[in-house]
Structure 1
Amino acid sequence: MEFVWIVLHEDSPVSTVLGVFATEREAEEFSNEVKGQFLRGVIYSRFKVGYRFDRGTGHAAYGPTS
């Protein structure tokens, strides 16, 4: 199973993705570099490749055929 780590900010509801990384360490290092640029800071989380969130609040599908 393949995963990516995505770094996001929560200062606005649009354009929140700041970076996509192969490892948690890369995501953490980048988060530490940029967190001071955002009033509410940044977060990072692991997502399975194929993750989708496109059908409204509360819908999440996983996998390449979702």
Structure 2
Amino acid sequence: MVFGDVVARARDVGFWLMIFALGLYHALSGVIGLINSVKLRGPSIRDEEIELWRNKLQRNKWFVSI
């Protein structure tokens, strides 16, 4: 029954490796989610462009209203 013992041991090791892999995947996906939810970057160039256009439109509207 040496072969049966090896198969049983391999099944146990495979089970715990699968549990470890699932836990690692869960932890990494949580870390990636936290990084994505927290904005680590400053305002992007697009945000600055939108703000510039908004200011231009406000000035034009003010000029037209005078």
Q: Which has the larger radius of gyration?
A: 2
Which TM-score applies when normalising by structure 2? Answer: 0.22
Structure (1 or 2) with the greater helix fraction = 2
Which TM-score applies when normalising by structure 1? Answer: 0.22
Structure (1 or 2) with the greater strand fraction = 1
